[in-house]
Amino acid sequence: MASPANIDSGQGKPSRILFMATTALSMVFIDQTVVSVSLPTIANDLGMSPELTQWVLNGYVLSLAVFVGVSGRLSDSFGHVVMFRTGVMVFVLGSIGSGFALSPEMMLVSRGVQGLGAALLLPSSATLVMNAFSNSGRGRAMATYLGIAELFLVIGPLAGGAITEYSSWRFIFLINIPVGATVIYLLQRSRLVNDRRPGSHVDWVAALMLILGLAGLVVGLQQAGIWGAWSWLVIAIGAALLASFVRKELAAQQPYFNLRLFADVGLRGDAIAALCIQVALVPATLWAALYLQDILRFSPIEAGLSYLPFLLPMIATTFIAGKLYDRVGGRLPIVVGMSTMAVGLALVAILMPREDYWLLVPGLALFGVGLGLSLSPANTDALVRAGTESRGAISGLMQTIRQTGAALGVALIATIVLSATATGVKPDSSQIALGYAVCASIVATGAILAFLLIKSRPHKSVADA
């Protein structure tokens, strides 16, 4: 619990705000992975083709990725409290649709609605936590906020498998109803002031460029094995739209995203670190669940328990990372953490073809240690550098980067793994190991860039300079 010295501006009770925001973020994160071990049952019940089945997962992640940046600006315009409340309500609506889905179309639309709700609440939830704590307590608060939520992201396969095995897959979605209601109740009890930025506006042309550009990249990559050469056209269109978005933003008097904030090379390092971490984390978690069940023949419960060598070190080091950031800044935990992640992923990739779970335990443990050390400092450092006035926009931009990383990671690793597999045939352990090797190389590259770019602790934000 925060002490009075940690309270910023008297904006409600910090411990309640932290619990509320962490609960909402955990609900969002677990829905990225909770369906992974439930997909075969969902597909069978709804009569979904293999092509549609993969979109039950990445449709949610893609919707979250393309709308979360818009949400950051809307949060500045309409207030963080309003956007947080709206996001939770939309998310619960999508959960109801997913839980009661009777057709593939209803499932996919509902998952997209879930992603939209998640996008609306993510930037505002982070800002509410940041505003509730002073500088001396923000590192630990954000470590708790992100660390617990990332824990739910990783235990998603275990939770989904247990619920599917002992009840019904529909409850992996319907459980969000009481959770969302609890979050709304806590928000009402907190009586927070709905801070708005006077004069803040949304450039809808820029927003459309961003949404369509990100969608083009992810959809083109995800469908590469089906569309062939056409997928490269979609990817090229998406890249062109994103390039136009960047040019427009740099020339704008009141940009949608203030990309000039990236004049701070440290902020660039934070963004690259967040992207690389997420590109590796989500697909590594998903393919681990498939490897454990399809290759090692673990039951859903056994597969979930097999995550413990990863989970326990991650939990321990997450809270250490928060205290470390408050003392020395972001460079040390980010670089050391990402380097450790890369080593752990590489060990898993090397030993995975031997199909012996116990050989993977050291690599999984190093992966967890590295993730715990690097995840929250990258996000916290970016928000501190941005300053109070730009915190909503940067929060939205960082979440866009993180969730785009997740969507691109799922699409990229699936394309790499499945490209060496005949249609309709499940990949073997060596093909899954190739995906882990790519994840390791991406994280290692991110660690090098973070070392080069994040050279100082932010004493004054760019926006306030």
- Mean pLDDT over 204-211 rounds to 85
Least Cα distance to 348 among 303, 282, 287 occurs for: 287
Q: Of 197 and 175, which is predicted with more confidence?
A: 175
Whether residues 212 and 308 fall in one domain: no
Q: Based on the domain organization, do 312 and 357 belong to the same domain?
A: yes
In a domain, 460, yes or no: no
pLDDT band of residue 39 (cuts 50, 70, 90) is: confident
Which of 14-28, 398-412, 448-462 is predicted least confidently? 448-462
- Does the pLDDT of residue 1 top 60, yes or no? no
Can you tell me the distance from the alpha carbon of 37 to that of 47, in angstroms, rounded to the nearest whole number?
17
Provide the number of structural domains found in the chain: 2
- Given this model, what pLDDT does residue 420 score? 62
Does the residue 5 lie in any domain? no
The arithmetic mean of pLDDT across residues 324-352, rounded, is 93
Q: Between these two residues, 171 and 222, which has the higher pLDDT value? A: 171
Same structural domain, 271 and 359: yes
Has residue 263 been placed in a domain?
yes
Last residue of a domain, one of 255, 275, 295: 255
Distances (CA, A) of 440 to 287, 372, 413: 14, 16, 12
Same domain as 304, residue 165: yes
pLDDT > 90? residue 91: yes
Instruction: Please check the confidence at residue 256 and state whether its pLDDT lies above 70.
Output: no
Q: How confident is the model at residue 9 (pLDDT cuts 50, 70, 90)?
A: very low
* 200 against 47, higher pLDDT: 47
Domain boundaries, position 242 = 203-255
Residue 177 has a pLDDT of: 96
pLDDT band at 451 (very low <50, low <70, confident <90, very high): very high
- Determine, yes or no, domain membership for 305: yes
Say yes or no: 144 and 71 in one domain.
yes
pLDDT at 298: 84
Does residue 75 register a pLDDT over 80?
Answer: no
* Buried residues in 313-332 as b, exposed as e (16+ CB within 10 A): bbbebbbebbebbbeebbbb
Examine the domain organization and report whether 130 and 237 are in the same domain: no
Claim to verify: residue 327 and residue 251 sit in the same structural domain: no
pLDDT at residue 385 tops 90: no
Give the model's pLDDT for residue 342.
97
Calpha distance 355→139 (Å, rounded): 40
Average pLDDT on 265-284 reads 91
pLDDT at 398: 80
- Helices 104-132 and 135-166: crossing angle, nearest 10°? 160
| pLDDT at residue number 200 | 62
Q: Is 31 domain-assigned? A: yes
Assigned token pair, 249: 């933003």
pLDDT at 250 over 80: yes
State yes or no: pLDDT of 423 exceeds 60.
Answer: no
Q: Which of 239, 255, 271 is the last residue in one of the domains?
A: 255
311 has a pLDDT exceeding 90: no
Over residues 231-246, the pLDDT tens digits come to 899 999 999 999 998 8
- pLDDT-based confidence at residue 56 (cuts at 50, 70, 90): confident
Check: CB of residue 117 under 8 Å from CB of residue 87.
Answer: yes
Tens of pLDDT, residues 120-165? 998 888 888 888 887 777 778 887 887 788 778 777 877 888 888 8
Q: Are residues 140 and 157 in the same domain?
A: yes
Output the pLDDT for position 197. 64
Q: Is the predicted pLDDT of residue 399 greater than 80, yes or no?
A: no
Q: What would the mean pLDDT of 344-363 be, rounded to a whole number? A: 96
Q: Is residue 308 domain-resident?
A: yes
What whole-number distance in Å separates Cα of residue 404 and Cα of residue 398? Answer: 10
Q: pLDDT tens digit string along 110-121?
A: 999 999 999 999
DSSP 61-126: HHHHHHHHHHHHHHHHHH-HHHHHHHHHHHHHHHHHHHHT--SHHHHHHHHHHHHHHHHHHHHHHH
Q: Is the pLDDT of residue 220 over 70?
A: yes
Least confident of 174-188, 205-219, 433-447: 205-219
* Residue 427, pLDDT above cutoff 80: no
294 has a pLDDT exceeding 70: yes
Is 324 part of a structural domain of the chain? yes
- Please check whether residue 464 lies inside any domain of the structure: no
Query: In this structure, are 342 and 428 located in the same domain?
Result: yes
CATH number of the domain enclosing 426: 1.20.1250.20
Q: 261 and 251 share a domain?
A: no
pLDDT the model gives residue 10 = 42
- Is 151 found in the same domain as 215? no
Co-location of 169 and 236 in the same domain: no
Short-list 339, 338, 359, CA closest to 348:
359
